[in-house]
Chain A
Amino acid sequence: MAPLEYLRPSDEGAAIALAEADGRACLLAGGTDVVGLLKDGVLAPSRLVDINALPIAGVEIRDGGLSIGALTRLSDVADHPAVRGRFPALAHAVLAAASPQLRNMATVGGSLLQRTRCGYFRDPVTPCNKRAPGTGCSAIDGEHRLHAILGGSDRCIAVHPSDPAVALLALDAVVRTRGSRKERAIPVDDLYLLPGSTPERETLLEHGELIVAVELPATSFAARSCYLKVRERASFEFALVSAAVALDVRGGVIRTARVALGGVAPRPWRARAAEAVLRGSRMTEATIAAAASAAVRDARPREQNAFKVELVRRVLTRVLATAGAGG
C-alpha cells in the first residue's frame, strides 16, 4: 500500500472540495470495502477523504417516505422500525448482507458504491478491463461461476455485489448527491451504468460527488415487499442470486410491481419484462411462472454460470409467491 494523505473534514463542502481537488482522491466511509482494496493494491489513491465526521447519518421520516443519511450504518438501517415496518425488503436485504460486525461499520452510501467481488478485478496481477482498461477480461474464458448472466458485455461480466442496492432499486429509491457546483437527485435505477465498452465507469457520479442521503419515497408497493438471497453458507457470503420484489395488489390484481435481481448482472438488475407480466395480472402460479421466465429471457449464461438462469426462476417463483401471499 503506497503512502497517502489522510484527511477528515467535518463539513460537506470541505469534503467535496478536497476530493474534487485531487483526481486520485477516494472517499472513505465505513472503509469495509476501501481498506481491503487498498491493501490488495487494487486502489492506490493519493488522498483518502474520510467522511465519517460529516453530519449525514441517521434515518428521518420525510413526506411519508424515509431519508437515510449516507453514513447511516447498515445495522442502524435494519433496526429502524420504519424500515422494518414499511420497507421490509430493505430490512431483509440489509440483514442478509455481510456479517453483524461488517454491518456495524458499513454505510448505506458505501454499500451502493462497493466494488465487484470478481476475483480478477481484485487481483492486480490479472488482466481486467474494469481495473486496468484495455487489458482484457479474465473471467469470460476463466472462472466465471459467480459472474453475470444479464447485462454483461464482451469486456466485463463482473456482478455488482450489494444486497441493499437491489432492495433500494425495487423500492424506487433516489440517491441525493452533492458536488461543488450542483446537487442532484438520481433514482437508483439511473445511478448504475452497464459495462459496455467502458466497464471502468460504474455509475453516473462524477469524481468527488458525495452521496448525502438515500430517499425512499412513499409508494403503494413498498409495504408488500420482500427480499430473498441464495448463498452457499448461512451468513457472511455474497449472493449467488437474490431478488427483491414489491407489489401493489388491489382486488386481487397486481397494479404495480417491482422486480429487482442481485448476483446476476454488473448492476442491481431491474427485471422490467417480469414486471410487465405481473402488471394487471392476478397472482396465479401461471403468472408467477411467466414472470420468472421473462426475467431471464435475455440471459446470456456461460459454461460455469448457466445454473443461475434456473436459480433466478426459482428464486423469483419463491419470492413472488411470498410477496403475493402477504398483506
Chain B
Amino acid sequence: MRPTAVGTPVDRADARSKVTGTACYTVDVVLPDLAHAVVVQSTVPTGRIVRIDAAAAERAPGVLGVLSHANTPSLAEVPTFPQGPAGQRRPPLQDDTVNFDGEHLAVVVADTLHHAAQAAALIDVAYDREEAVTTLEAGDELPPSGIFGEAPDSVRGDPEAALARAEVRLDATYTTPTEHHHPLEPGATVAAWDGGRLTLYDSTQWVSGVRDAVAMTLGMATDQVRVVSPFVGGAFGSKAMVWPHVVLAALAARHVGRPVKLVLSRAQMFTSLGYRSPTVQRLSLGARQDGTLTAIVHAVTQQTSVFEEFVAGAGYISRSLYACPNVAVRHRLVRVNAPTPTVMRAPGEAVGSFALESALDELAAQSGVDPVALRLRNFAEDEPQEGLAWSSNALRECYQVGAERFGWERRTTEPRSMREGRHLVGWGMASATYGVHSEAAAARVRICADGRILVTSGTQDLGTGTYTTMVQVAADALGVPVERVTAALGDTDLPPAPHSGGSQTAASVGPAVWSAALDACSKVLALAEQGDSYAEILTRHGIEFVEGRGDARPGASASRFAMRSFGAHFAEVQVDPELGEVRLTRFCGVFGAGRILNPKTARSQMIGGIVGGTGMALTERTVTDRRLGRVVSPNLSGYAVPTHADIPWIDVCFIDEHDPHVNALGVKGIGEVAIVGVAAAIANAVHHATGRRIRDLPITPQTLL
C-alpha cells in the first residue's frame, strides 16, 4: 500500500453529525406507534419472589402490558462469552428466584415513558429473603473452570524455590474495587416486530452477537432477526456481550404488539451490563540485587455471580511482560450475590498491571534501581511464556522516548524530594501491554459510476473512529481521496464482522475492507486499461456500480509469533501533604502499537484510556452495602469519574512500528493498551511524592492522611 490517507490525521467522518446532534443513537430512535418499557429490578440480594402484584400497574394510565416470570414464555439459555455472545447466561423472568439486588423482575410497557415509569413504581414485590454473600471477603474461593479457554493456573520453572533463594523479595497484596463502565449512552434497545421478523436497534459492540443471542433465546431462525446500531454512545466492554434487557425489549414488543423502546436508567446501569470485578491480588517477587527478576507469583481472587462464572485473566500479564524464568499465576473466584461481572477496557491487564507494576516500583525502591532501568533490565527478548519471537516489540523505545519527553532523568530518587510550593511532587511510571486480537471479518466496497465509494461491514463504531479509519483504508486501496468514500456500519444486513472488543476492530475489519477494495478495483480494471478514472470506466460501460468483497481472517503468523502492543506511561502528581488531595499534573504515554491508521482518532483513544486509568487510580469505586447487598448512591455523583478539572494535558506519542506479521495492514490495536499500567504509574508517582505506598485503589485523601 502507498498510504496517503492511512497514517494521516483525517477528521472524523461522523464528527459533524455528532456535534450537531443528527447522529441517531439507539436512545434517539423513534418509530411510529412506539411504546416505552421500564424495567423493575429486585431490591434484595437473594431469595424467592413470593408475589409480584402488578394489578395497580396494569390499571395505571397508558399501560399496555406487564411482563414478569408469571407470564413470560420459557427462554433458551445462551452461553456466555467466549462460548457464546451472552453477558449473562441465565435468561430473564424465568422463575421466582432472585440472585442479586438489581436483577430484572418485571417490565412495564406503556404509551409514554412517564406512564411506564409511573406504573413501574406501583409494582409490589414480596420476597422470601435468604442469607446472602455480598462481598468477596465473605465467600469461599473456588478455582474457575477456565478463562477464555485458558487454564486459570499456570507455573513455569520453580517459583517457590526461586523465591526462597532470591536476594531481594517482595510480598504484597493489592486490591481494586468494583468498577463500572458508565458509557454516556446507557444500555438501550428498540424492538420492532413485523410478523415473525424482528428488528432490534441496540446500543451494542456486537450486532451479530445480539442477533444470534436473541434468536437463540427466542428460538428463532437467525435470519429472522436484524440488528441495527449505527452509533454507540460509548461502551468500554459493557455492551460487548448481550444482556437480558435486550431480549426483554423484544418480548415486550411482542407482548403489546407495538414497537418498544427500553432504555436503562443510570441507576440500573449498575446491575444490568456487568462490571469490573473487585480483585484481591497477592504478588510475590524474587530478584537479584541488581533487580533482575527471578520469580513472580501472582495470585488473584475475583468475584462472580452465584449462577455463573466470569473471570478476567488478571494475573496473565505477569507471565508475558518480563523475562523471568519462574512464574506462577493463580486465579480464584468467590460466588457473590451480585450480577455477573464482564469485560471492561483491558479486562485482566488493567487490574493485573496495577499489582505487577506497583510491585515492580517497590522492587526498584528496594533494590535501589531506577524504575525505568529496572524494566529495561527485565526486558523480554522473546515472549517468555511460550518462547515465541515477538512479531514486533517497541517497548524499549517506548521507555526511552517516554523518559525523554517526560524529562525522567531530572527525577530525584528519594520519595518526598520534589516540591512545588507547598505540594509534594511525584513522578512515577509503568509499562503497558495488551495482546493483539483479530477474528474473521467481511466487508464490501462498492465503486459507483458517479465516482463515489461505499464501504460496508457489519462491524460497529463505538466512538473509536471506525467510520473514519475504514474510509481511509478503502481510499488508499483504491487511490482516491477520502472525501469520495463513505462507510455504512452497524447492521447485521451488512457483511459479518466480529464484536468490537479486545481492540480488534481495526485489525479484523481493516484487512477485510482492504481486500474488498482491491477486489472492487480489479473488477473495474478488468473492464478497461488503466489510466481512466473509475467513474469514466463504469460510465463508459453503462454500469451503475461494481462491488468488491473482502474476507479476512487471522493468519498463520499467530502460531509463529507472539503479538502484543506495548507502551510506557509517565505520570506526575502533586499531593497536598496535609490534606491528602492528589492531582494529576502531567502525563505522557508512549505506545508501540503497529501501524496507526489515524493519529487523531488514535490520540483520542489513548487519552480516553489514560483518563479511564486516572479514574481507576483516584476516584472510581462502586460501593455496596454489605448487609443489603445493594449499591449505595448508584449515580454519577456516587460513582465519580474524572472531570475536566482532574485531567492535565496529556502527551501521547506513537512509535513508528512496522509489523509485517500481525495482518495485511500492520495494525495491532490500541484501545486497551492505553489504560494498562496507568493506575500503577499514578500510584507509583504518589509513592514518589509522599513515601506512602498505596496498594488499595482508589487513592483518596482518606488513604493518604
A233 touches B579 (CB 8 A): no
Question: If A119-B638, A232-B618, A233-B618 touch, does A142 touch B625 (CB 8 Å cutoff)?
Answer: yes
Question: If A235-B643, A318-B579 touch, does A240 touch B118 (CB 8 Å cutoff)?
Answer: no
Which of B305-313, B399-407, B629-637 is the contact stretch? B629-637
- Chain A residues contacting B638 (CB-CB under 8 Å) are 119
A236 touches B643 (CB 8 A): yes
Q: Which of B618, B628, B698 contacts A138 (CB 8 A)?
A: B628
- Determine how close the nearest CB of chain A comes to the CB of B512; give it in whole angstroms: 42
A99 interface hit (Cβ, 8 Å): yes
12 contacting pairs across A/B (C-beta < 8 A): A99-B643, A125-B43, A142-B628, A143-B623, A143-B632, A231-B701, A233-B642, A233-B645, A238-B637, A307-B701, A311-B579, A311-B580
A29 to B121, alpha carbons, bound, how many Å? 26
A233 to B647, alpha carbons, bound, how many Å? 10
Which residue of chain A lies nearest to B628 when distances are taken between CB atoms in the complex? A126
- Determine how close the nearest CB of chain B comes to the CB of A214; give it in whole angstroms: 25
Which residue of chain B lies nearest to A315 when distances are taken between CB atoms in the complex? B579
B410 interface hit (Cβ, 8 Å): no
- Chain B residues contacting A236 (CB-CB under 8 Å) are 643, 645
Please, how many residues of chain B have a CB less than 8 angstroms from a CB on the other chain?
35
B701 touches A117 (CB 8 A): no
Question: If A2-B121, A3-B118, A314-B578 touch, does A230 touch B701 (CB 8 Å cutoff)?
Answer: yes
Q: Which of A120, A138, A230, A234 contacts B645 (CB 8 A)?
A: A234
Which residues of A approach B to under 8 Å, CB–CB?
A: 1-3, 40-41, 99, 117, 119-120, 122-123, 125-126, 138, 141-143, 145, 230-238, 240, 307, 310-311, 314-315, 317-318
Which residue of chain B lies nearest to A238 when distances are taken between CB atoms in the complex? B637
- Determine how close the nearest CB of chain B comes to the CB of A124; give it in whole angstroms: 9
B630 touches A234 (CB 8 A): no
A240 touches B701 (CB 8 A): yes
Which residue of chain A lies nearest to B699 when distances are taken between CB atoms in the complex? A232
Which of the listed residues B628, B632, B705 has the most CB atoms from chain A within 10 Å of its own CB? B632
Q: Is the interface of B mostly helix, strand, loop or mixed?
A: loop
B293 interface hit (Cβ, 8 Å): no
B161 interface hit (Cβ, 8 Å): no
Q: Is the interface of A mostly helix, strand, loop or mixed?
A: loop
A234 touches B627 (CB 8 A): no
- Determine how close the nearest CB of chain A comes to the CB of B666; give it in whole angstroms: 39
A138 touches B702 (CB 8 A): no
A232 touches B700 (CB 8 A): yes
Q: Which of A125, A237, A238 contacts B630 (CB 8 A)?
A: A125
Which residues of B approach A to under 8 Å, CB–CB?
A: 43, 114, 117-118, 121, 267, 578-581, 583, 618-619, 623, 625-628, 630, 632-634, 637-638, 640, 642-646, 698, 700-702, 705
B643 touches A233 (CB 8 A): yes
Question: If A2-B118, A125-B630, A126-B628 touch, does A230 touch B580 (CB 8 Å cutoff)?
Answer: yes
A234 to B625, alpha carbons, bound, how many Å? 26
- Determine how close the nearest CB of chain A comes to the CB of B97; give it in whole angstroms: 19
A125 to B124, alpha carbons, bound, how many Å? 12
Which residue of chain B lies nearest to A143 when distances are taken between CB atoms in the complex? B632
Which residue of chain B lies nearest to A308 when distances are taken between CB atoms in the complex? B702
A233 touches B640 (CB 8 A): yes
B118 touches A1 (CB 8 A): yes
Which residue of chain A lies nearest to B640 when distances are taken between CB atoms in the complex? A233
Which residue of chain A lies nearest to B624 when distances are taken between CB atoms in the complex? A143
A142 touches B579 (CB 8 A): no
- Chain A residues contacting B698 (CB-CB under 8 Å) are 232
> Which 9 A/B pairs are nearest by Cβ-Cβ distance?
A119-B633, A234-B645, A235-B645, A119-B632, A307-B702, A125-B43, A314-B578, A235-B643, A234-B646
A237 to B700, alpha carbons, bound, how many Å? 13
Which residue of chain B lies nearest to A98 when distances are taken between CB atoms in the complex? B637
B625 touches A143 (CB 8 A): yes
Which residue of chain B lies nearest to A125 when distances are taken between CB atoms in the complex? B43
A40 to B266, alpha carbons, bound, how many Å? 11
- Chain B residues contacting A231 (CB-CB under 8 Å) are 581, 701
Question: If A143-B623, A237-B640, A310-B705 touch, does A230 touch B579 (CB 8 Å cutoff)?
Answer: yes
Which of the listed residues B121, B578, B628, B702 has the most CB atoms from chain A within 10 Å of its own CB? B702
A233 to B642, alpha carbons, bound, how many Å? 7
- Chain A residues contacting B644 (CB-CB under 8 Å) are 235
- Determine how close the nearest CB of chain A comes to the CB of B613; give it in whole angstroms: 15
Which of the listed residues B114, B579, B633, B698 has the most CB atoms from chain A within 10 Å of its own CB? B579
- Chain A residues contacting B267 (CB-CB under 8 Å) are 40
B619 touches A233 (CB 8 A): yes
- Chain A residues contacting B630 (CB-CB under 8 Å) are 123, 125-126
- Chain B residues contacting A235 (CB-CB under 8 Å) are 643-646
- Chain B residues contacting A145 (CB-CB under 8 Å) are 623, 702
- Chain A residues contacting B637 (CB-CB under 8 Å) are 117, 238
Which of the listed residues A2, A122, A232 has the most CB atoms from chain B within 10 Å of its own CB? A232
